[in-house]
Structure 1
Amino acid sequence: MTHPDLPTDRQKNDLVRQGNLRAAARNTANEGAHVDPSDVAAQRFSFNGRWTRRDWAHASLFATLGALVVAMVPGFSNAMPEIDLAPPQLTTMALPLPPLSKAATARQPAESWHMVTVESGQTLGAIFEAEGIPAATLQKLLDATQDKQALTRLRPGAMLGFDLGQDGTLRALRYDRNESQRVVLSLDGDNVVERVIERPIEVRTAVITGTVGRSLFHAARKQGLSGATINKLTDDIFQYDIDFSKDVTANDRFSVVVEQHWREGELIRTGDVAAAVFTAKGKPFTAVRFERDGKAEYFTAEGRPLKKSFIRSPIQYARLSSRFGARRHPVLGTMRMHKGVDYAARTGTPIMAAGDARVVSAGWQGGYGNTVVLDHGRGYTTLYAHMSRIAGLRRGQSVKQGQVIGYVGSTGMSTGPHLHYEFRINGVHRNPLQHTMPPPEPLSGPMLAQFRQQTAPALQRIRELEDIIYATVPAQPTEEDTQVAAADAAPDKRG
C-alpha cells in the first residue's frame, strides 16, 4: 500500500527533470560567460542519492557483461597454451640385449630353396659344378638314394632344388620322384637323411567350351585346353568328318569334357577327352570315348564308330589350292584333267596315310616327283606326289591310318610346295572331296546298353553348359505377327 505523504517514483522523476530544465535556463542566461566543461559534466552526471529505473537497468547490464568476461578469459588461457619452438633434446642410449638361449643357438636355419631347371643335354654333374658344389658331395647323395639312375638321366624341364648355407655349402637337395612324391636329401655331417613328401593328386572332370574366332588353337588354349588335347581333337577324333583347313569358321564352337589332374592348386596334366562336340557351320559333330574289347575308341552319340576307312585330308592345316576336274596345267599351259586335289603347305609339312594300307611304290615318278602309292584293299588306292622326301618306306610295307609317309615339297612338275593327292577306285580317279565311304557298323545289344550308360553323364554336362552359354533369346513378336496370329485363331464365319 502506498503512503499518501511520500512522493511516488513518477513524482521523483518529474522533480529531477524540472531541476535539469532550471539549470539549462541559467546556462542560457549566462551566455557569453566562461563555463568550465568539468562543471557542466559534473552537473549533468551529478547523483542526488536516488536511483532511477534506468540506472538500475544500466547497472544490471554492466554486471552481466562483467560476469561473462570473467568466465571466458580462463578458457582462452587453457585453449591457447604457450608453444615452445625449441627442438626437443634427444638422447641415445645403448642397451645390452639378453644372451640367446642354447636351444635358439643350436636351432637350424630356415630352408631357402634355389630352384634350377634342367636344360637339354645338361647333366647332374654339370649342374652341381655350376652351383659350386663339390663332386664328392654329389657322389655322397647318389650313394644314399634309390633314385640314382633317375637322377643321372634327368629330362629337360625337370626342377631341382638346392638349399645352400651362407657359406655356399649344400644343406639339402630336392627333386620330384614322380607326380605324387617329392624327395628331400638332407646332409647331416657325413650322413644323408632321405625324406619323402607325399603330394596328393586330385582328378576333376571339367567341361571347356568356346568359339573358334580367328584361330582354333589360340581360342582353345585360352579356354584351358592343352596343345596335346587340341591335336587330339583335330588329328584323331574329328579328322574323319571335319576338314579343319576349310570346314571351320569363326562362329563355330567346341565343347570338351576332360579329366584334369591338380596338385596343390596347380594344374599339372590333362587327361583323355571323355566327350566332345564340335559345331561346324551349324552342324554338330559328337564324339564319346568308350572302351571296346579293352581298346579305347570314339563313337557318335548313337554308338557308331567315328573311325572310318579314310580320313578327310591327308595333311592338316593346309590350303586347298586346286580342285578335282578340268583345268589349265600351271606348267604345260594346256587344258587337261586334274585327277586329284592340291593342298598348298610349307615345305616339310608331314603327310599322313589316308587309311590302313600296303605300300605299292615309293620313289620318283616323272612329273609327280617323289611319290608314294598305297593300296587300301577292295580296289581302293591313293597317290601322294611332289614330296620333298619320303619317310623311309619300302614296297610291300604296311602302314597305319594317320602314319607319316612323307613331307611336302615341290619335286617334279610343280610351281611351288604342295601335295597332289589322288583317290582311285578300281583304277578310276574319283574326287576325294566328294566320295564318301559307307559308315561302319554301330554298337548293338549289351555293348550298346553299356555304352549309353557310361557316356550319358558326359554328354548331359555338355548339353547343360551349351544351353546356358549359347542359349538364344527368342525374338519378341511384332504387331504384324500378333495380328496374323489373332486372325488365324478367329473362327471362320464363311458359310
Structure 2
Amino acid sequence: MSEGSQVAHAARKQAIRRKAQRRHSHFYERCSHWSFNRNGEAEPIRWHRERWVLAATALLITALSGFLLPAWASAMRTPPAAEAHRLLPLALPKASPATTQAPTVEDWQRVQVEPGQTLSDIFASQGLSMSDLQRVMDAAGDARSALHSIRPHQEFDFLLGSDGSLKGLRFDRDSATRAMVRFEDGTAKLTLEPRDMDTREHVAHGVIDSSLYAAASRAGMSPGMVGKLADLFKYDIDFVQDLRVGDSFTVIYDDIYRDGSYYTEGDIVAAEFINQGHRYTAYRFKKADGNYGWFSEDGRPIQKSFLRIPVDFTRISSTFSAARMHPILGRMRAHKGVDYAAPTGTPIHAAGDGVIKFRGWMNGYGNFVIIQHSKSISTAYGHMSRFAAAERVGQHVRQGQVIGYVGMTGLATGPHLHYEFRVNGVQRNPQTVTLPKPEPLPQAQLAKFEAQVVRPQLARLKQVDQSVKLAMANSRQHSDE
C-alpha cells in the first residue's frame, strides 16, 4: 500500500471514530474511566450497578447451561438395542393316547312327570317298550317301590343309545338318594348315589290386615307353609271367626336344599301367633321315641285332645242357642249344636280319639254318628250325605280320621254339618266349651326341651319382634318428617 493511501485510510478511521463518539457520547462519558493499560497505574475496581448486572447475567447463563445441556444430550442419545434372547428347545414327555382323548359326555334326557301320566306313558314317549320298563323294574331292587307311585313334577333321566335302545335310567329313590340303573353288555347294574342335603332356616313375620294368606304371602311364605302354620294353631284359633286386623305372627321354618339348589320347604321350627292380644307359641322337639312333635312353651303338646272344628267350612249357618226359630218346623226350638255350612261331600273328621258308639239314621239328624271319647265326653255329627267306608259301631278312630261327608239328610235346608259336644250326655257350646289340656312332657324331657329349644328359639323370636318394632318406629319417623 502507498503512503498516500495509508494516510487516506487513517483519515477515514479517525472520521469514523469521531462520528461514533458523537453518536454515543453519553456512553463514552460514563465509561471513560475504564482502562486496560497494564503499564499505567491501575485504579481500584469500583463495583457499580452495571457491573453487578453483568456478573449476575453471566452466572445465570452458566447455571442454565449446566441443567439444559445434559438433558439435551440425553434426549438426543440413541436408545440401546434390545438384548437378543436365544430360544432353546426342551424335550417334553410323550403324551399317552389316553390323555389325548376328550372325555365322553353322556347325553342324559330329562323327563318331568305331567299330571295324569303313568310310568308306561313316560317310557312310550321315549320310544321304549313295556319290556324295557320291566327290565328296569327287575333291576331296581330295593328302589322299585319308588317306581310304583310316581307323582307330578317328579323327574326321570334316560340314557339312550344311538339306535334308541335303553342304556340307563336315573330316578329318586327318596329325597336324599338317587338310583341309577345301567345296561351294559346285556347285564344290569344298580347304583345308589347319596344326594347332598342341606337345611337352612328361614324367618317370616306378618301382620294381618285382611286375611292370613294375604299377610303370609307378603312375608314370602308359600300357601303350603301357611297351611302348616294354620294346622299348628287350629286347636286354639278359629282362622275364620277369630282373626282380627293387627294380629301378627312370626315363623321360623326350614328350607331344604339338595345339591346346592332349593328343593322344598321343611317343617316349622318355632312359631308365635298373637290373636286378639293372646299369645300362642309352638316349638318343634324330638321326643324320647325319636319322633318330632310340637309343644307350647310350657311343654304341652300343641295337638289338643279335641279339634275345635271338625270340618273345613265356608261359614257358620247356625250357632248354639237355647231357642231359635227352626227353619223347617217353623217354631221356636233349642239348637244344641253348631251348624257349619260346607259343600256336599266335604270330609268330616273325628274331633278326638274314641270309639264309634252310634252309626245310622236318626230322626231330624239324618245320617248320624256319635263317638265316645271318655267316660264323660262324646261328640255327635249329623246330616251326613254318607258314612266313611269300613266304619262300624265299636270301631276305634283317631283324631282327624274321616268318619263321613257333609250332606243335608234329615231336617236340613242346605248342606252342612251339625256338630255337638256333650259332657255327661248334656250338649255344650263347641265354640266356648273348655277343652281338657293334654299332659306336658315328662320332667326329664321337659328340662331338655326348655334348655335346647325354648330358650334359643324364644330369643330369636324376640329379636325378630324388636327388629320389626324398630322398623315400624323408623317408618313413622320418616312419615312425620
Distance 1:250 1:290 in 2: 31
- Report Cα offsets for 1:320-345 as digits up to 9, x if no partner: 22122221111122122222221111
Q: Is the 8 A contact 1:349 1:407 kept in 2?
A: yes
- Report Cα offsets for 1:89-129 as digits up to 9, x if no partner: xxxxxxxxxxxxx9899767643333223356755444333
Equivalent of residue 286 in structure 1, options 275, 281, 301: 281
Q: Is the 8 A contact 2:196 2:260 kept in 1?
A: no
Q: Give the direction of change, closer, same or farther, for the CA distance of 1:170–1:438 in structure 2 (3 Å limit).
A: closer
Q: CA deviation at 1:200?
A: 0.8
Distance 2:403 2:186 in 1: 57
Q: Is the 8 A contact 2:357 2:371 kept in 1?
A: yes
1:323 is matched by which residue type in structure 2?
T
Alignment of 1:341 with 2:341, yes or no, is: no
Mapping of 1:102-113 within 5 angstroms?
A: 110-113=105-108
Name the structure 1 match of 2:29: none
Name the structure 2 match of 1:300: 296
Distance 1:287 1:371 in 2: 35
Name the structure 2 match of 1:469: 468
Distance 2:444 2:122 in 1: 58
1:132 is matched by which residue type in structure 2?
G
Name the structure 2 match of 1:12: none
Name the structure 2 match of 1:261: 256
Equivalent of residue 447 in structure 2, options 440, 444, 449: 449
Q: Is the 8 A contact 1:253 1:278 kept in 2?
A: yes
Name the structure 2 match of 1:425: 423
Q: Give the direction of change, closer, same or farther, for the CA distance of 1:278–1:112 in structure 2 (3 Å limit).
A: same
- Report Cα offsets for 1:180-230 as digits up to 9, x if no partner: 333444555656676655421112233233344544346546655565544
Q: CA deviation at 1:177?
A: 3.1
Q: Is the 8 A contact 1:123 1:154 kept in 2?
A: no
2:384 is matched by which residue type in structure 1?
M
Q: Give the direction of change, closer, same or farther, for the CA distance of 1:107–1:251 in structure 2 (3 Å limit).
A: same
Moved more, 306-315 or 122-131: 122-131
Equivalent of residue 277 in structure 1, options 255, 269, 272: 272
Secondary structure at 2:373 match in 1: strand
1:428 is matched by which residue type in structure 2?
V
Q: CA deviation at 1:173?
A: 3.0
Moved more, 381-390 or 163-172: 163-172
Mapping of 1:394-405 within 5 angstroms?
A: 394-405=392-403
Q: Is the 8 A contact 2:348 2:403 kept in 1?
A: yes
Q: Is the 8 A contact 1:359 1:375 kept in 2?
A: yes
Distance 1:154 1:402 in 2: 25
Distance 2:376 2:272 in 1: 34
1:451 is matched by which residue type in structure 2?
F
Q: Is the 8 A contact 1:118 1:154 kept in 2?
A: no
1:411 is matched by which residue type in structure 2?
T
Mapping of 1:76-155 within 5 angstroms?
A: 110-119=105-114, 122-133=117-128, 146=141, 149-150=144-145, 153-155=148-150
Q: Is the 8 A contact 1:120 1:155 kept in 2?
A: no
Distance 1:189 1:224 in 2: 52
Name the structure 2 match of 1:202: 198
1:473 is matched by which residue type in structure 2?
A
Name the structure 2 match of 1:459: 458
2:203 is matched by which residue type in structure 1?
V
Q: Give the direction of change, closer, same or farther, for the CA distance of 1:284–1:227 in structure 2 (3 Å limit).
A: same
Q: Give the direction of change, closer, same or farther, for the CA distance of 1:217–1:205 in structure 2 (3 Å limit).
A: same
Distance 2:436 2:176 in 1: 47
Q: Is the 8 A contact 1:209 1:223 kept in 2?
A: yes
TM normalised by structure 2 equals: 0.67
Number of residues of Structure 1 aligned to a counterpart in Structure 2 = 380
Name the structure 2 match of 1:14: none
CA RMSD in angstroms comes to 3.6
- Report Cα offsets for 1:345-368 as digits up to 9, x if no partner: 111222222222222211111111
Unaligned stretches of 5+ residues in structure 1: 5-101, 477-495
2:382 is matched by which residue type in structure 1?
A
Name the structure 1 match of 2:309: 313
Q: Is the 8 A contact 1:340 1:432 kept in 2?
A: yes
Q: Give the direction of change, closer, same or farther, for the CA distance of 1:365–1:216 in structure 2 (3 Å limit).
A: same
- Report Cα offsets for 1:143-200 as digits up to 9, x if no partner: 6654673475251233111244666455543323333333444555656676655421
Distance 2:395 2:137 in 1: 46
Distance 1:147 1:445 in 2: 41
TM normalised by structure 1 equals: 0.66
Q: Is the 8 A contact 2:356 2:392 kept in 1?
A: yes
Distance 2:438 2:147 in 1: 49
Q: Is the 8 A contact 2:356 2:393 kept in 1?
A: yes
Distance 2:109 2:352 in 1: 51
Q: CA deviation at 1:414?
A: 0.8
Q: Give the direction of change, closer, same or farther, for the CA distance of 1:188–1:374 in structure 2 (3 Å limit).
A: closer
Name the structure 2 match of 1:380: 377
Equivalent of residue 354 in structure 1, options 338, 341, 351: 351
Name the structure 2 match of 1:369: 366
Q: Give the direction of change, closer, same or farther, for the CA distance of 1:437–1:261 in structure 2 (3 Å limit).
A: same
1:179 is matched by which residue type in structure 2?
S
Q: Give the direction of change, closer, same or farther, for the CA distance of 1:239–1:125 in structure 2 (3 Å limit).
A: closer
Secondary structure at 1:367 match in 2: coil
Secondary structure at 2:461 match in 1: helix
Secondary structure at 2:304 match in 1: coil
Distance 1:259 1:121 in 2: 30
Distance 1:429 1:276 in 2: 34
Alignment of 1:408 with 2:406, yes or no, is: yes
Q: Give the direction of change, closer, same or farther, for the CA distance of 1:448–1:131 in structure 2 (3 Å limit).
A: closer
1:238 is matched by which residue type in structure 2?
F
1:466 is matched by which residue type in structure 2?
D
- Report Cα offsets for 1:385-442 as digits up to 9, x if no partner: 1111122432222222222222211111111111112222223332222221354454
